[in-house]
């Protein structure tokens, strides 16, 4: 969208020239770049304002199905704009994006370094309609983010209450079985402040077993740099699509066995990203 708004801003200047005589004067050349910048900022502000208003009045009690296509579209056209404005470059590696199925729902798993991780994953898979399982505290401390997650089939996870955690897993399985969205989860359960891969909570893999869906294994590195470097110096985030495990690949395996296999794959991929 950022390039669309830049082109539109440039196009509007000569059109405006037909209505404002001052732009027809030889000394008015200096107004052109100012007008381009002004139009561009106006487009960006209006776009972000529309996006925020779209989610501002969402209720957590509202049906996730109501307006699902609209909210998905809103995120799809807004997130690339935000990533570009923040000057975050995403370096994709591993399995080509074209090999990730778009015609079936899946469980996405990834290591977790920062709260920006979901935005990077959404950006990497813009056509996969992913709902995130996130800690329940997000819905209270960051209500706008919580509302966005809610309308994109996200689910809160109570990490300290096993009974509530089971309810979340059942809810995720239902979303997958009804083919409403793919589900993404961070099996570490917490963000890694050292960026080292933490032990997994293997219960997350029950979702794939019960829903009988593929598991897309991903690795991410560099998101902890974003708050310090975005806008001014910019930063790069490395994202790898490590592997795709289909149901026949883990048929008959326990969640611990699946977790151990994926942990090893993710660990190796993360080390490669760190050492590139």
Inter-axis angle of helices 68-85 and 143-151, nearest 10 = 130
State whether 16 and 86 are in the same domain. Answer: no
Give tens-digit pLDDT for 160-218. 787 888 899 999 999 999 999 999 999 998 899 999 999 999 989 999 999 999 999 99
Helix (H, G, I), strand (E, B) or coil at 11: helix
Q: State pTM to two decimals.
A: 0.90
If one counts the domains in the chain, the total is: 2
pLDDT in tens, 194-204: 999 999 999 89
In a shared domain, residues 88 and 154: yes
Tell whether 59 is covered by a domain: no
Domain co-membership, 211 together with 170: yes
Enclosing domain of residue 194:
64-275
Q: Are residues 267 and 189 in the same domain?
A: yes
Q: What are the φ/ψ torsions at residue 62 (nearest 5 degrees)? A: -70, 155
Domain holding 267: CATH number? 3.40.1130.10
Same structural domain, 143 and 204: yes
Q: Within this chain, do residues 267 and 221 fall inside the same structural domain, yes or no?
A: yes
In which residue ranges of the chain is pLDDT below 70? Answer: 20-29, 231
101 and 181 in a single domain? The answer is yes
Residues 186 and 240 in one domain: yes
Q: State the DSSP H helix or E strand holding residue 95, giving kind and residue range, or none if neither.
A: none
């Amino acid at each position: 969208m950022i390039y669309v708004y830049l082109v539109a801003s440039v196009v509007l200047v000569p059109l405006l020239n037909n209505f404002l005589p001052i732009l027809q004067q030889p000394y008015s050349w200096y107004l052109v770049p100012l007008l381009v910048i002004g139009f561009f900022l106006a487009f960006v502000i209006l776009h972000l304002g529309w996006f925020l208003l779209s989610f501002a009045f969402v209720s957590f009690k509202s049906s996730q199905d109501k307006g699902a296509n609209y909210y998905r579209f809103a995120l799809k056209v807004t997130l690339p704009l935000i990533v570009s404005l923040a000057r975050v470059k995403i370096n994709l590696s591993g399995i080509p994006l074209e090999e990730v199925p778009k015609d079936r729902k899946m469980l996405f798993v990834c290591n977790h370094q920062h709260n920006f991780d979901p935005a990077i994953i959404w950006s990497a898979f813009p056509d996969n309609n992913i709902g995130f399982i996130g800690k329940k505290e997000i819905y209270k401390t960051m209500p706008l983010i919580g509302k966005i997650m809610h309308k994109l089939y996200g689910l809160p996870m109570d990490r300290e209450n096993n009974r509530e955690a089971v309810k979340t897993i059942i809810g995720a399985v239902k979303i997958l079985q009804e083919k409403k969205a793919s589900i993404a989860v961070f099996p570490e359960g917490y963000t890694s402040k050292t960026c080292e891969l933490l032990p997994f909570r293997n219960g997350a893999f029950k979702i794939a077993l019960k829903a009988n869906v593929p598991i897309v294994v991903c690795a991410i590195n560099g998101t902890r740099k974003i708050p310090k470097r975005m806008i001014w110096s910019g930063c790069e985030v490395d994202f790898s699509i490590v592997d795709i495990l289909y149901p026949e690949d883990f048929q008959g395996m326990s969640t611990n066995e699946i977790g151990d296999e994926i942990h090893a794959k993710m660990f190796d991929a993360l080390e490669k990203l760190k050492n590139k």
